[in-house]
Chains A and B, each alone.
Chain A
Amino acid sequence: MTTSVDIVIEICGSAGEGTISAGEVMTRFMSSKGYEIVSFDSFPSEIRGFGKCVAHFRASTETVLAPGKYTDVLIALNDAHAITQLSGLRKNGVLIYDSKPPVCHEEDRSIAGWAEPGMTAYGIPMLELANKAAGNAKGRNMVAIGAVACLFGIAPEEMTAFIERRFKGKKPKIIESNIDSFLLGYEWTKTHVSKEDPYTFKGAEIVPPEGEKTIMNGNEAVAMAAMDSGLRLYAGYPITPATKIMEILSKRLGESGGVMIQTEDEISAAGNVVGAGFSGKRAMTATSGPGFALMGEMINLAVMAEVPAVIVNSQRGGPSTGLPTKMEQSDLSAAVNGGTGDSPRVVFAPRDVVDCYAITCLAFYIAEKYQTPVVILLDFYLSNSIRNIDKPVPPDAEMCSSNVFPADEALDDYERFKITESGISPRTLPGMPFGMFVDTGLEHNTYGKPVYDGENHLVMTEKRYRKFHTMQAELPPAVETGTEGEVEIGILSWGSSSGAAEEAVRKAQEKGQRIASFHCSVIYPLPEEALKAFSRRCRILVVAELNYTGQYANLIAPVLNREVRRLTLITGLPMASEDILEFIGTFKG
């Protein structure tokens, strides 16, 4: 019998126990088999130590858009840490724990002791089996994967083949001990455990992936899109959760003649990007909240000097260094309004990994054509979330070269900041004959010369804002899902929370509710007309986002000019459809 399957698995351990890598092996394997995967990892901010690591992923035969709030299967590599994850385990969930720890747990320190009636707890002697397989404890994570494979109907030969592929290039001994640990876990479970829970992947109706697929996370998608868009310079300073972008580019950007520089700090990184943008090279930096705060002045400079720049901010919990390895969507206000003066900048927030690629390509195009900084808001979850996506189609030549050059005759008396209807002033690049101009952070006249009178300032400010009107026609439209026409509830969300909103709408619709969702990857300029049109057809409006004050709700409030209900969460976790369903479930009438 083939059926639809939707299982959320969580592996929890201590740093150094292979928790995240076990999660990665599982997610990439399941994804390669054709399952829809949504994953979310969290780990301590300390580089090494004993902090808690959680690899959380959802594998489904259906399209899934959010990580799933409740866990079906919890694998405890470390009891003390995993006990705190038990509250998220379903009442009929499965717990897999190490039944032979080196010493007997003190009272209340064993996760098996906390399993509630209705849950199924399987004890696997992980440490003992890992020692047997490889002579050390390292393979406990693979023993656990072996147990999972056996309990939930994953063919061992497929997994071992995958492990071989995945670890290709590593020492044969390492590959061997991983496979041995996996197989021992599998065999032990097969002979010693009788299955009592209802979960299985056996017989799952998977649609084999069509066309060429590629497995990547949000950071990888951004890095790849940047390279495909003709990135020449990446300048950055490492920071969680954006570092991976830099890591990838440090390895690969050179292949296409680009340059990756690790700067001394984020001010310098942004300065490099603005400098490269000024000279006509596509350039990008990626950071997180604390680094973004430092980049503020350079972004302002790019606004005033009308220089293209792409700045990725993968948000984490803030303010300040905040919660480095936790999920939050709380830099929206800083991204949109963080500049001094009237400092418009484009802000995009992709919704998923596919969107990360598309939005990054668009960011380079828009930045160059409209001579503006573009901020891409990722977040901890999106940066790390692995998806199996159709191989992205690289941008065409027009997308890769979008500078608006002046006509030859305009060079007779070149006005760099010429007032135009579109707001775009044709731009020369350094070295172009007769295209010289002055560019500073000071307010200027059409030639770039500093001018401080109010009349000029108004004209220039209007011109800079006019570009944002003009670009609207080229920006992706809002996406609405769910019931058409008038609805009871409309859910607005942004960035990676949109998946949860869409999934919540789908589930509520199945229960007969008239409900719809609204998402736009363009945060600024605001899609005013689309927002108003959506608002008109909703009796109740909900804005669901992961920050305390309701930053998106605040941003769109003047446009909507009506009451909205705010679902604002700062749990450090990504939004789940259950969060939204539970929230709207509290509405009366």
Chain B
Amino acid sequence: MPKDDHYVIIGNGPAGNSAADTLRKEDPEAKITLISDEKSLYYYKHRVPLYTVGGCEPEDLSIRPYRSYLENRIRLRLGQRVEKVVPAEKLLYLNHMEKVHYTKLILAVGASARRLPNHAGFADHLYCLAGLDDARRVRKAMMAASRLVVLGGDLISMGFAREARKAGKEVVFILYSSLFWPVSLKEEIQQSVTKRLNSLGVKVMSDAEPVTDVRPEGEGYTLTLPDGEEMSTDLVLSFFGSVPNIRFLVGSGINTEKGVLVDHLMRSNQEDVYACGDCAQIYNPELKDYWVSVGWGNAEAQGELTAMNLLGREKVIDYQPKEIFEMDGVTIRTSWWKTFA
């Protein structure tokens, strides 16, 4: 590789970091830059629910110190958003008006909280939890709250409900079983989820979807249920999984659908542009279709694999789910979701 190669990775999550680590390991000379619009250092997302209830501090979420990037000569640009990618010029534009040139680019931009279209009228009153920035807002609001309503959900919502209960909050869970993410709940799993939530002291309502309105009232909020009944609460949280962060790629010529479309070697349609992790939609030759990936372990594995492919060491993705996800005693078959001890 010529010395003036510049590998740029957008995204400071597990996909981006494992790609950066692999690149550094395999190519000690290369110039590597990791850009992310989040200001926080690489952190454990699964601990975020605990953080929202004051159970840990930001430093407990941190995976590695800034120093380790310096030592590995990985230029870390945090709090810097890529606004535009121009593959023809191999050029990125950052939000603070700076150009960055790359020779190879990895998109590891993850996903943001998915919001339901029929919640659009009151979306401003719903709290989400896709990362640490959200978590800071939720934590602040949680301090004054004793009663919470969770609309959802997804795998994260269950972890959150558990922590909220442990912290002594009253939790009502309005279960949108057909919209559960990443898989809609089959009868059997729904029962299992409900049972588990009940055992935590969470009140589960499985016949109250969709909520038709949320409006502020006094210090809290009032929800309107489909039957017109109203319910008051201190805080309403919305958990419906995630959507890949691909909007900034519009007009770039990089093919996207739900996520960034990549082949079995994680290559996009544009030369030297790769994608991995939650933002990627990967071609599965067996299914003859694309699938969106989710989960920490998945992102990590894909980051490494993408880096290897970028370096020309062809490595094809393993399509079989590695793990059966189990959370709070509920078993959900899903690809790649990782259980943390």
Interface, chain A (partner B; CB < 8 A): 97, 99-101, 104-110, 112-113, 115-118, 120-121, 123, 196
Contacting pair B99 A112 (CB below 8 A): no
List 7 contacting pairs A-B, 8 Å CB cutoff, sorted by A. A99-B97, A105-B97, A108-B98, A109-B98, A110-B96, A113-B94, A117-B40
- Beyond A113-B77, A117-B39, A117-B41, is A106–B96 a contact (Cβ under 8 Å)? no
- In this complex, what residue of B is CB-closest to A108? B98
Interface size class of B (residues with CB under 8 A): 10 to 19
Kindly state whether residue B101 has any CB partner on chain A within 8 Å.
Answer: yes
- In this complex, what residue of A is CB-closest to B65? A117
- In this complex, what residue of A is CB-closest to B136? A196
Contacting pair B78 A100 (CB below 8 A): no
CB contact between B96 and one of A107, A108, A113, A118 (< 8 Å): that residue: A113
A interface secondary structure, majority: loop
- For A99, the chain B residues whose CB sits under 8 A away are 96-97
A121 vs B77: C-alpha distance when bound (angstroms): 12
A113 vs B97: C-alpha distance when bound (angstroms): 9
Kindly state whether residue B224 has any CB partner on chain A within 8 Å.
Answer: no
Contacting pair A105 B41 (CB below 8 A): no
- For B248, the chain A residues whose CB sits under 8 A away are none
Kindly state whether residue B250 has any CB partner on chain A within 8 Å.
Answer: no
Contacting pair A100 B97 (CB below 8 A): yes
A104 vs B95: C-alpha distance when bound (angstroms): 10
A299 vs B246: C-alpha distance when bound (angstroms): 76
B193 to chain A, nearest CB (A): 36
Contacting pair B98 A107 (CB below 8 A): yes
A301 to chain B, nearest CB (A): 60
Contacting pair A112 B41 (CB below 8 A): no
Within 8 A of A (CB), among B138-174: none
- For A105, the chain B residues whose CB sits under 8 A away are 97-99
Within 8 A of A (CB), among B67-119: 76-80, 93-101
Kindly state whether residue B66 has any CB partner on chain A within 8 Å.
Answer: yes
Known contacts A115-B79, A123-B96, then 18 further A-B pairs from the complex at CB < 8 Å, ordered by chain A residue: A97-B96, A101-B97, A104-B97, A104-B99, A106-B99, A108-B98, A110-B96, A110-B98, A112-B80, A113-B77, A113-B80, A113-B94, A113-B96, A116-B66, A117-B40, A120-B39, A123-B95, A196-B39
- In this complex, what residue of A is CB-closest to B102? A107
Contacting pair A107 B66 (CB below 8 A): no
B104 to chain A, nearest CB (A): 16
- In this complex, what residue of A is CB-closest to B6? A107
Interface mask (B50-67 → A, CB under 8 Å = 1, otherwise 0): 000000000000000010
- For B40, the chain A residues whose CB sits under 8 A away are 117
Interface mask (B35-49 → A, CB under 8 Å = 1, otherwise 0): 000011100000000
A100 vs B97: C-alpha distance when bound (angstroms): 7
Contacting pair B66 A112 (CB below 8 A): no
Interface mask (B234-267 → A, CB under 8 Å = 1, otherwise 0): 0000000000000000000000000000000000
A108 to chain B, nearest CB (A): 8
A100 vs B96: C-alpha distance when bound (angstroms): 8
- In this complex, what residue of A is CB-closest to B92? A107
- For B99, the chain A residues whose CB sits under 8 A away are 104-107
Interface mask (B269-296 → A, CB under 8 Å = 1, otherwise 0): 0000000000000000000000000000
- The 10 lowest CB-CB distance pairs between A and B, nearest first, are A112-B96, A110-B98, A105-B98, A117-B78, A104-B97, A113-B98, A117-B66, A107-B100, A107-B99, A117-B41
- In this complex, what residue of B is CB-closest to A102? B97
- In this complex, what residue of B is CB-closest to A91? B66
A547 vs B96: C-alpha distance when bound (angstroms): 41
A117 to chain B, nearest CB (A): 5
A97 vs B78: C-alpha distance when bound (angstroms): 16
CB contact between A118 and one of B66, B98, B100, B101 (< 8 Å): that residue: B66
B103 to chain A, nearest CB (A): 13
- In this complex, what residue of A is CB-closest to B77? A113
B140 to chain A, nearest CB (A): 12
A100 vs B78: C-alpha distance when bound (angstroms): 19
A559 to chain B, nearest CB (A): 47
Contacting pair B78 A104 (CB below 8 A): no
- For A97, the chain B residues whose CB sits under 8 A away are 96
A124 to chain B, nearest CB (A): 11
A101 vs B96: C-alpha distance when bound (angstroms): 9
